[in-house]
Structure 1
Amino acid sequence: MTTSTPAETRRLTGQLGPVGIVFMVVAAAAPLTVIGGNMPLAMGLGNGAGAPVGFVIAAAVLLVFSIGFVTMTPHVPEAGAFFSYVTVGLGERMGKGIAVVALIAYTAIQIGIYGYIGWAIADTVAHYDGPEIPWPVYSFAILAIVAVLGYRHIELSAKVLGVALALEIGIVVILDVVMVAKPGPAGITFTSFAPATFTQGTIGIAILFALTGFIGFEATAVFRDEARDPERTIPRATYAAVVIIGAFYAITVWAFVVALGPDQVAGVAQKTLDGEGNMLLDTTGDMLGTVGRDIVNVLLLSSLFACVLSFHNVIARYQFVLAGKGLLPARLATVHDDHASPSFSSLVQTATAAIIVGVLALLGIDPLVGVFGSMAGVATVGMVLLMLTTSIAVLVFFLRNRDRGGLWATRIAPVLAVLGLLASLWLVLSNFTLVTGGSVTLSTVLAAIPFVGLAVGFLAWRPSRSLV
C-alpha cells in the first residue's frame, strides 16, 4: 500500500514545459464551449456583428494584467497563483481572503461545468433516440473519471487534455476556414471591427461574456512546482495562453459573422438564446454536413470534460498550497509516493464536488440555467475580483521595491490593469442578471458570495508560518 508524504519534506514535482501548461490552461478555458455558449450571448444580447471586438478587448485587458503578473513571478517562489501574489504584495490577511475567493470561484465554475456536461450528454443521447437518463447520472460518471485522473501525476492529465484540446481546436480551425471560404451574403467582410459596428448595441455585454471565456488562464502559476524551469516557463505559458485563447475566440467569432452575414448574425444568435436553434451546431451542419455536426457535438463534450478536469487539478493544488501554509488541514498537504500528486487533496476535492452536485440534483435545479448559469456568474465575479486584487498587490510590491523591474512592467501596466479590471467588474455586476439568468434578488445574493468569502478570509486570519 502506498503512502503519502507530508508537504514539509516533499514538494510537487514534474517536467511540464510551456506547451504542457498551456494545454492545461487553454483546456480550462474550454474554447469550443465558449464558442457554443458565450458567443451567442455576446452577439444576441450584446453588439451583434461587433462581438469579435469584445473578445479582443478582453484579451487586451488580460494581456496587460499578465505583464505585472509575470514580472512578479520570480519574487513569488511558490505555487498558489493569486493567493501567493497577494500575500507577497498585500500581506497574509488579504492573502487568506483571496485564497477563500479563489476556492469559491474555481469550485463554482467546476460545479457549473458538471451541470452543463450532464445536461449536454443527456441531450446528445436523446438526440440519437437513446434512453432518457437523468443528467446527474452522467455528471457523476464524469466526476468518477476526473477523480481517477486527478489522483495520478499531473502529466497524465496533461496528456489527456492535450489530445482532447488538439482535436477540439483542429475541428474549429477547419470550420473557420470553410466559413471564410463560403461567406454569407455580404462576402468576406471586416465590418465587425468598424467603430460604427462594434459600438452598436451593448459592447459591455460582449466584453462580459468574453471575460468569462478566459477563466482559468492564470492557472499557469498554480503549476509552478511541476514546471521544468518556472522562471522561464510560467511567463511564456501565461502570455501564450492569453494570446492563443484571445486569437482563437476573436477569429472564430468573426468567421461566424462572415458565414452568416453581419446583418443576420444577431438574429441567429437570438434564436439560439430562445431555444429555437443551435448557432454552433446548425452552422457546422450547413458548412461541414451531418458528419461534421456530429463530430463537433462530440468534441463539445470532450471540451467540457477537459475543462472540468483542468479545474479539478487547479483546486486540488490550491488546497495543497494552503494546507502547507497552515490555512487548511495539514493532511491536504501530502504528496503521493508513486504519483507525486496532491492525492489526498484531490480526493477531498472530488468529495466536495460530489456533495454539491448531489445536493443540487436532489433540489431539482435545472442543470443548464440553474446550475451552470448561476455558478458561472459566481465564478466570473470571483475571477475579476481576484485579478483586480492581484494587480493592486503587484503595484504595491514594486512601489516598495523600486529597484526591481522597469517602469512599464512594474508601474504603468499594473495601473492600466487595475483601471481595466475595475471597468470589467462594473460591467459584470451591472449586467449580472444576464449571466445568471435569475432574478435581481438571486443575482445579488450570488454576486455577493465572492465578496463575503473575501471578508470571511480576511477577518478569520491569524498569524501562521510563512506563507511565501
Structure 2
Amino acid sequence: MSTNTETTADHRLHGKLGPVGVVFMVVAAAAPLTVIGGNMPLAMGLGNGAGAPVGFLIAAAVLLVFSVGFVAMTPYVPEAGAFFSYVTLGLGNRPGSGIAAVALIAYTAIQVGIYGYIGWAIGDTVRFYGGPQIPWPAYSFVILAIVALLGYRHIDLSAKVLGVALVLEISVVVVLDLVIVAKPGPAGVTFASFTPGIFTHGALGIAVLFALTGFIGFEATAVFRDEARNPERTIPRATYAAVLLIGGFYAITCWAFVVAIGPDQVTETAQRTLAGDANMLLDTTDANLGRIGRDVVNVLLLTSLFACVLSFHNVIARYQFALARKGLLPNRLATVHSSHGSPAVSSVVQTVTAAVIVGILAALGVDPLVGVFGSMAGVATVGMVLLMLTTSVAVLVYFARHRSDAAGRTWQTRIAPALACAGLLGSLWLVLTNFTLVTGGSAMLSAILAAIPFVGLVGGALLRRS
C-alpha cells in the first residue's frame, strides 16, 4: 500500500456519494441475507413463531421515530461522526467522548463477530462441496486482508463493491419471496402473522430484540457526511430510506417464510435450524428455487457477510478519523490520503485492531459462531441501543436550549425524540433481560459482556479533560 498521505489539519474527507450510494453502504452493513439466515430463525424459534414479522415492524417503527429527531438535528451538526458529534453538540464534551468510546466498542465488536461468522461460513461451504477442512481463522484473515485493501482506497470503490453485492443479495431474496407467494405452502397466502392472537403468542420481546440486532449500522449515514454530494439533503433521505428499506425487507421476507412453511410448522422448523438439524434459509430456497437457487443463495450469503464487514470497516475508520480531528485520538489518525481521499492511516489502524482481536480469539480456540459471533453481536446490540438512547436525549436537550431552531417543529424536536427515548428504554430492557439468548453464554459471562459498553461510556467520559 502506498503511504502517500497529507497531514494538513484542515484537510477533510471528500467524495460524491448521493443518497443511493450512502444507502448501499448502510444497508450492506445491516447484511439483509445474514439477518434472514441467522436472526430470523432466532426470532421465530425463541420468540413468537409465526408472529416474528411484527417484531421487525416494531423495531423499524422505533428506529423510524428515532430518525425524526436525528434528522432534525443533522443540519446543526457541522461534522461527520454520527452519534459522537450529536451527543457532543447536545450534551457536551464529556458525554460525547463517552459515547465515542461506546461507538468504537459496538462497531468493533460486530465487525469481529462477522469475521468469525464469515470464517465459519466459508469453511462450511468448502466442506459441503467436498473441499478440505481448514480452520476458520485462515479464511477470516484472507477476508480481513481484502477488506484492508478496499478500505484503504477511495470510498467510491467500496460503495461500488457493496452496491453490486447488495443488489445481487436483495434480488435473489425478492425472487424467492415472489415464488413463495405464487406457490405458497400448506396454509396458502396467509396473513395470520399480523393478527394479535399470533404475534402476541410466545415472546414478542425476543423477536423485537433480534430484529433490533439486524438494524445495527443503519445510523451510519451521518458518518459519511463529508463524502456526501449534498449532506443537508443526502443524509436525511438516506437515513429514512435505510430504515424503511431494511425494515420492510426483513418484515416481508419473514412473512414470506411463514407462508412457505406454514404458521403451524414455522416455529418447529426454526427450532430445528437452531439445533443444527435444518437450515431454514437454504432448505426453503431449495424447495422453491431448486438446488441451483440454493447454491446461489449460499454464495450470496458469503458476499452478504463480506459486504457487512467492509461497511463496518469504513464506518470505524471514519469514527477514528473524526475523533482524531477532535484531539481524542492521536493526530496521525486524522491523516487523509492525497490520492484516494480516504482516512488511510485510520483504516490501517482499524485493520490491525481487528486482526489482533481475531487472532486472540482464534488462539484461545473460541467457537466462531456462538463464541465469536454470538457474544460480539450481544455487545454490539447493547452498545447500539445505548448510543441511540443517548443521542435522542441529546436532541431533546439541544432543541430545548436553541428554541429558535425548534420553532414550528414540535413533532421533530420534542415529541418524536421523547417517544424514541421511551421506545429505546424499552428496547434496552428487552436486550438486557434476554441477553443470554443473544450471547449463548452463561449468566456471568453475559453480564460481563453486557457491561462493556457501559464501562466504555463512563471511561470515555472520565478520560476527557474538559
Structure 1 residue 100 displacement after superposition: 0.2
Structure 1 residue 2 displacement after superposition: 5.2
Counterpart for residue 261 of structure 1: 262
> 2:447 aligned to 444, 449, 454, which one?
444
Residues 1:312 and 2:313 aligned together: yes
| Long gaps (5+) in structure 1 | 464-468
CA contact (8 A) 1:50 1:192 kept: yes
Amino acid at match of 1:255: A
Amino acid at match of 1:210: A
Counterpart for residue 339 of structure 2: 338
> How many percent of aligned residue pairs carry the same amino acid?
77
Q: Give 3-state SS (helix, strand or coil) of 2:336's partner.
A: strand
Structure 1 residue 6 displacement after superposition: 2.0
For residues 211 and 264 of structure 2, what CA distance do their matches in structure 1 show?
Answer: 21
For residues 17 and 262 of structure 2, what CA distance do their matches in structure 1 show?
Answer: 43
Structure 1 residue 7 displacement after superposition: 4.9
Amino acid at match of 2:430: L
After superposition, residues 165-204 of structure 1 pair within 5 angstroms as 165-204=166-205
Q: CA offsets, 1:173-203, max 9 Å, x none?
A: 0000011111111110101000110000000
> 1:412 aligned to 411, 415, 418, which one?
415
Counterpart for residue 127 of structure 1: 128
Q: Show structure 1 runs of 4+ deviating over 2 A.
A: none
For residues 217 and 275 of structure 2, what CA distance do their matches in structure 1 show?
Answer: 29
For residues 2 and 170 of structure 1, what CA distance do their matches in structure 2 show?
Answer: 38
Structure 1 residue 401 displacement after superposition: 1.0
| Long gaps (5+) in structure 2 | none
Q: Give 3-state SS (helix, strand or coil) of 1:10's partner.
A: coil
Q: Give 3-state SS (helix, strand or coil) of 2:403's partner.
A: coil
Structure 1 residue 404 displacement after superposition: 1.3
After superposition, residues 47-446 of structure 1 pair within 5 angstroms as 47-405=48-406, 406-446=409-449
For residues 186 and 104 of structure 2, what CA distance do their matches in structure 1 show?
Answer: 47
For residues 163 and 76 of structure 2, what CA distance do their matches in structure 1 show?
Answer: 30
Q: CA offsets, 1:251-272, max 9 Å, x none?
A: 0000000010000000000000
Amino acid at match of 1:26: V
Amino acid at match of 1:46: G
Structure 1 residue 3 displacement after superposition: 2.5
Aligned length: 463
Counterpart for residue 46 of structure 1: 47
For residues 89 and 257 of structure 1, what CA distance do their matches in structure 2 show?
Answer: 44
Q: Give 3-state SS (helix, strand or coil) of 2:133's partner.
A: coil
Q: CA offsets, 1:439-468, max 9 Å, x none?
A: 0000000000000000101111113xxxxx
For residues 337 and 325 of structure 1, what CA distance do their matches in structure 2 show?
Answer: 21
Amino acid at match of 1:428: V
Q: Give 3-state SS (helix, strand or coil) of 1:438's partner.
A: coil
Moved more, 154-163 or 176-185: 176-185
Amino acid at match of 1:68: G
For residues 105 and 84 of structure 1, what CA distance do their matches in structure 2 show?
Answer: 16
CA contact (8 A) 1:2 1:337 kept: no
Structure 1 residue 309 displacement after superposition: 0.0
Structure 1 residue 403 displacement after superposition: 1.6
Q: TM-score, normalised by structure 1?
A: 0.98
CA contact (8 A) 1:374 1:435 kept: yes
Counterpart for residue 26 of structure 2: 25
Amino acid at match of 1:320: F
For residues 19 and 415 of structure 1, what CA distance do their matches in structure 2 show?
Answer: 30
For residues 138 and 370 of structure 2, what CA distance do their matches in structure 1 show?
Answer: 18
For residues 33 and 9 of structure 2, what CA distance do their matches in structure 1 show?
Answer: 40
For residues 372 and 96 of structure 1, what CA distance do their matches in structure 2 show?
Answer: 27
Amino acid at match of 2:457: L
Counterpart for residue 462 of structure 2: 459
Q: Give 3-state SS (helix, strand or coil) of 1:404's partner.
A: helix
Q: Give 3-state SS (helix, strand or coil) of 1:201's partner.
A: coil
CA contact (8 A) 1:7 1:324 kept: no
For residues 107 and 2 of structure 1, what CA distance do their matches in structure 2 show?
Answer: 24
Structure 1 residue 9 displacement after superposition: 2.8
Amino acid at match of 1:196: G
For residues 341 and 86 of structure 2, what CA distance do their matches in structure 1 show?
Answer: 25
Q: CA offsets, 1:320-372, max 9 Å, x none?
A: 00001100000000000010000000000000000000000000000000000
Q: CA RMSD in A?
A: 0.6
For residues 76 and 403 of structure 1, what CA distance do their matches in structure 2 show?
Answer: 16
Q: Give 3-state SS (helix, strand or coil) of 2:303's partner.
A: helix
